[in-house]
Chains A and B, each alone.
Chain A
């Protein structure tokens, strides 16, 4: 058995075959090309064709450069478990892993027992540097995981149901007994979000700066944390719901309901974008793969399902319960029930997930939440007796991009990043199932005829606008009240005219058609009068 830890010495380099490298490069280049180029043969316009061809060439160059940069500037490889002979990866215990890895990694294996304030929910910042803990009995803590120092710890003396970091470690939101509160890192209460009501689950959309919450009454709320504006409040209409997860790829929030359905929401529409029946029983947990195309759901019907979100089809179905699930950055899936954590992975690169690792806590520990720590091979487990952290080789992204998230961020960098991310903040309407569709041609919608009521309302609005239009002061003779009145009437008539015309058209569309047909083969106007009504045969 061998455990390969990330950040380990890169001395172990596989024999580099040239073809292998070129293949690898090709894959990477393809990734950076972001899809095929257009088929230019269709185009008639030579100039455009030439332009686009030149453009494609540039894209190709850029992709190659990017692939090279990735190859040579991101040298750290992810860790993995390598079984020898008949060894199985899921038989490997944490103790045996601890023997193989370096000291700094062993520091990430620990159990912290806090029996009184139990079950804990967790959240990591996007850089994985800080961890927020919310004990059900009111224990809130922010921990610097790198140095294992408590940044702040406090007791709010009421139920805490969920905790979530906002855009950086300076702020976090806690769903408490009655309201949701936003605290600063120092534990100062900054806001009390009364409108959200008794919230069960919180999620933060990092690119949109939206705090999404699901309360006891099944209401989904979005609040912009930069302006405090309430973006949306939607009833799910399916009762209490405490399964909610945001798809970090596109910002769509998915909720799992007791009817076995999973609904996907965007902040600006009241109706769910997608509603899918996933399980026969209530949905117990949800998770999204960071690439956004894979969703895992678990239900009371003892099934864990993996869904392809591009086709909305089941990819794989696994037996088992899961009270909480989470995908790691590299695509490992952790699922846990009771005091047992199972980690699944697609080891061969195929999309088939199979057992990768197991871990069982001490008997009686009820696991509340499992969360992978970003940029580390660490899984954080919040349970009824405190929280623990175990090593899962190959879970985290080995190379971090300091423009995205930097675990070694300085204060200044953090400040600058905050500003930058605020400048790059996306508007809430940009949340959609396929964000790459932004900027494309607007989908042609079926031209539904407006209903009569709508039409009337429109007409009324137009008339009111015409009436309220201020009249200019004219010269002496033209400023009489009678003239003014007349002008007003005329304006109203003008406003009404298009509506009436439309109505007329609708009433006898056949006439118009006939007219157009007859006009189609008409002579010039001057000669029209000479045509016969019925052409002689």
Chain B
């Protein structure tokens, strides 16, 4: 506590120090900037207000004063630094086009508006205004100049109003641009990828720019630029040899070292190769063991490694605890179980299995830990001369008692330290609080111990009575349980509930260990039994499904086969002829003799029979009966008749068909119906008949239909019906409307008749076919169009430009 307080105080001090520092730094800044420009901070204020502020802290020319002002501002609301306005940023020369920035007022100049609030504060505003005017004037000129520069047309052409009277643009000046523009407009592809002027074109140019920076480079440079060496180079080079001189020993040494290293490397390689080739499992196991041992040793000796391992383990544990990926208590697992594991896919099942495995590992670990603690405790008790010759249970009892005693002693001794840190008053208070909490805990623990002690004493008799017996049975039961678990791993969740119990019981305190131990066995046993019985059932089922099983089950299976066969018999007999039926019977009887025969085989035999019967027309020595042999079963009587008379009135049928389809696609108009008494008196209706408009409408509809029928593709084809139905799904393969520049459908359809893909065109033509409108390499700056006299080159250009344009002139124009 004290430490922390101190720390906080320290930090405060530090902050203070920082605060103190900050103004100084700003001070420096101010000094630096003072020469250049006054630093502005805070928002733009009306001049009146500014004046007020100035009155509050009068400003003199010295820099310090300004700083104080700044400090004041810093403490005030306007703490932020205003961004430098664009005009002052000097980023580009947009706002400072004029060279004579220091605008000097004429000497006889007098500011008339001295009294006014608005403009007296500083003459900067006026100046800015003036400047602005100047800029405006100048801007026009600049723009004109720019245009002139680009286009080559006299700047008067872009003058606008000003030059109304003296325009001197001849038509020639404008028309001379036309061919250029036309050419660019007509070109199917425009290229912008020439004149890529890289800064360094040669290696030498790049190398000349090189400047040594790193240590190594500098060393190298020193060597390279060594005057001695350079001189040596300059002459015939004989001196170079002198410089190069190396002693014999050096060379030999070097060679020896190299040879040794090579040898070592080779040996190591050979060894690795040999080891890699070894397939012996035992060898690799031993290797692994060695490696592990080495690692363990390292952990023991090297504190760093041990720390790492501990960290890793701790990390694992934290991960485990945070994810709780064990057992099926988490939400996900519960949901999965609720939905049924059989429905899940393999991945989920694997994940569940993994969790279970984790659980098993953890529980095992817990048990082992318990044992360990037991042994530890016993060793402790050895120290206390409390040798536990008796069973574990007794040991635990003693353990409990000891724990109780210890807690009591803790409760009793509550000494307050008199000196050092702990004597400080707030520390003392904290200690007291903590102690109170600890006492509370200890009391609770005591109560628990007592309760458990009582319980254990209560069950003591029973336990002692059964102890030996249980010991005897314990081991085999354990084994059984293990096997049960194994089985459970096969069919995981059939008995998940019982397992749950099992788990919870394991979680119970050490005090209850004995009881839980007992109960555990009790609960597990039935499950094991059930498992066993299940296995039995499974076996039975398996034996029913497959054939290779114990004789007892086999008999039942055979019976089943019999039953199925006998059940099939009548059906077979219906289909087959008598002879084949006898055959089938024969087969069955055979089967009785050979119970090992497969069901499949039986089926196959039946199939054979079937196919035999189906292929009614037998081939005798490759000569077939004259019957049409496209289908090898006898056609039914109706079918035969239909076939025999099929060609009789084919045409008539087809005509009917056609009419039906026509009616469906172009429905006939309904005949007008007279409703008696509707709209007229009946006697009038009788006299006049149908109203004329009705008849006219009907006639109209009829005519329309006739026309539609005439327009059909199959109008002239008597024996053909071409469906006019529109396929909805195929509609998306057509365009809804003509695409933009096209006005005629025919032209459009003709223009898309050629495929332009690489599968349909030779590679030589492909590139031109699929060229984009603009070809530009990335990074190339597209410059505005430049004038170039076309007339002299027109012919050559036209000759060269056929289909696509790619010549240097063209590009020069554009870029």
Contact = CB atoms under 8 A, between A and B. Distances in A.
B747 A43 contact: yes
Contacts of B615: 136-137, 159
Pick from B750, B766, B768 the residue with the most CB of A within 10 Å: B750
A259 B646 contact: yes
A39 B747 contact: yes
Interface stretch (B327-335, B541-549, B575-583, B623-631): B623-631
Given A40-B747, A281-B647, A54 B188 contact: yes
Interface in A184-200: 200
B186 A137 contact: no
Nearest to A47: B741
Interface string B748-769: 1111111000010110111011
A339 to B, nearest CB: 10
Interface string B236-257: 0000000000000000000000
A136 B708 CA distance: 50
A403 interface: yes
A54 B803 contact: yes
A112 to B, nearest CB: 13
A172 interface: no
A98 B732 CA distance: 54
Given A259-B654, A439-B733, A441-B738, A159 B604 contact: no
Interface residues of A, number: 87
Interface string A208-236: 00000000000000000000000000000
Contacts of B768: 58, 61
B153 interface: no
Contacts of B764: 65
A118 B750 contact: no
Nearest to B188: A54
Interface string A298-330: 001100000000001100000000010000000
B639 interface: yes
A440 B752 contact: yes
A307 B742 CA distance: 37
A83 to B, nearest CB: 34
A269 B708 contact: no
Nearest to A43: B747
Contact of B725 (A34, A35, A269): A269
Interface in A60-99: 61-62, 65-66, 69
A37 B619 contact: no
A119 B726 contact: no
A36 interface: yes
Contact of A277 (B632, B650, B748, B803): B650
Of listed B632, B647, B769, residue having the most chain A CB within 10 A: B647
B746 interface: yes
B614 interface: yes
Interface stretch (A5-13, A430-438, A455-463, A468-476): A430-438
A446 B707 CA distance: 13
A51 B188 contact: yes
A384 interface: yes
Given A44-B743, A62-B762, A258 B631 contact: no
B631 A242 contact: yes
B721 A281 contact: no
B96 to A, nearest CB: 46
A441 B751 contact: no
Interface stretch (B291-299, B509-517, B712-720): B712-720
B629 A275 contact: no
A58 B769 contact: yes
Nearest to A239: B642
A446 B705 CA distance: 12
Contact of A159 (B611, B647, B657, B765): B611
Interface stretch (A22-30, A260-268, A485-493): A260-268
B622 A364 contact: yes
Contact of A242 (B630, B653, B658, B802): B630
B722 interface: yes
Interface in A251-287: 258-261, 266, 268-269, 271-282
Given A62-B769, A445-B726, A38 B746 contact: yes
A365 interface: yes
A300 B643 CA distance: 10
B322 to A, nearest CB: 37
B607 interface: yes
Given A66-B761, A259-B650, A432-B730, A157 B624 contact: no
A312 B722 contact: yes
A423 interface: no
A260 B750 contact: no
Contacts of A69: 762
Contact of B734 (A44, A271, A438): A438
Given A268-B729, A271-B723, A384-B622, A443 B734 contact: yes
Contacts of A268: 727, 729-730
A48 interface: yes
Contacts of B749: 38, 440-441
Nearest to A113: B622
Contacts of A179: none
A61 B622 contact: no
A498 interface: no
Contacts of B720: 274-277, 312
Contacts of A119: 629
A48 B803 contact: no
A359 B723 CA distance: 41
A58 B803 CA distance: 7
B735 A52 contact: no
Contacts of B769: 58-59, 62
Contacts of A44: 743
A260 B188 contact: no
Contacts of B745: 440-441
Contacts of B629: 119, 366, 384
B166 interface: no
Most interface-central of B188, B631, B748, B754 (chain A CB within 10 A): B754
B83 interface: no
B647 A280 contact: yes
B646 A281 contact: yes
B650 A274 contact: no
Given A61-B768, A275-B657, 6 more contacts: A34-B754, A62-B769, A364-B622, A429-B729, A432-B730, A439-B735
14 contacts: A35-B753, A45-B743, A54-B803, A59-B769, A65-B765, A138-B611, A260-B647, A260-B654, A261-B650, A275-B661, A275-B723, A312-B717, A323-B630, A441-B736
Closest 9 CB pairs of A and B: A38-B750, A62-B765, A281-B647, A442-B734, A277-B719, A364-B623, A429-B729, A65-B762, A38-B747
Interface of A: 33-40, 42-45, 47-48, 50-52, 54-55, 57-59, 61-62, 65-66, 69, 115, 118-119, 136-138, 157-159, 177, 200, 239-240, 242, 258-261, 266, 268-269, 271-282, 300-301, 312-313, 323, 362-366, 384-385, 403, 428-430, 432, 436-443, 445-446
